[in-house]
């Protein structure tokens, strides 16, 4: 199962740079190349990303990863879930900091 965090970050990165290689994607996310490949394949199988072959002078066989319409819609949905999750983490951290401040002041 692809976490919302990776799901969102991959879709965001590919939307901004469709010619990004799997190696660059892995580096940007701080994950292994194998995990990046696995995540991309999962998104392709779900119809969220389309991989097109193209040829360039540096790499004779490269791919362009394009978000499908469904992928763009899903990116928006995942962004909302991811934001909600991060806001909950932030609020929990704020409560913990306040509790620690009270503990230190006693």
* pLDDT of 29 higher than 60: yes
> What is the pLDDT confidence band of residue 63, given thresholds at 50, 70 and 90?
confident
What is the average pLDDT score of the chain? 89
Q: How far apart are CA 106 and CA 103, in angstroms?
A: 6
What are 79-103's pLDDT values in tens digits?
999 899 999 999 999 999 999 999 9
Share of the chain above pLDDT 70, in %: 91
CATH number at residue 83: 1.10.10.10
* pLDDT of 57 higher than 60: no
Q: What are the tokens at 31? A: 């994950």
What are 34-49's pLDDT values in tens digits?
999 999 999 999 999 9
Q: How far apart are CA 21 and CA 18, in angstroms?
A: 9
Full residue range of the structural domain in which residue 60 is found: 4-105
The predicted structure's pLDDT at residue 62 = 75
The predicted structure's pLDDT at residue 2 = 67
Name the domain count of the chain: 1
* pLDDT of 60 higher than 70: no
Contacts with 49 (C-beta within 8 Å, 6 or more apart), sequence order: 11, 14, 40, 43, 65, 66, 67, 68, 71
């Amino acid at each position: 199962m692809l976490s919302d965090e990776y799901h969102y970050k991959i879709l965001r990165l590919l939307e901004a740079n469709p010619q990004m290689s799997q190696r660059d994607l892995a580096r940007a996310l701080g994950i292994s190349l194998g995990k990046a490949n696995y995540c991309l394949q999962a998104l392709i199988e779900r119809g969220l990303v389309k991989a097109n072959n193209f040829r360039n002078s540096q790499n004779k066989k490269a791919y362009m990863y394009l978000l499908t319409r469904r992928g763009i819609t899903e990116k928006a949905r995942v962004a909302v879930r991811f934001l909600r999750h991060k806001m909950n983490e932030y609020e929990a951290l704020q409560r913990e900091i306040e509790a620690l401040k009270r503990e230190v002041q006693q």
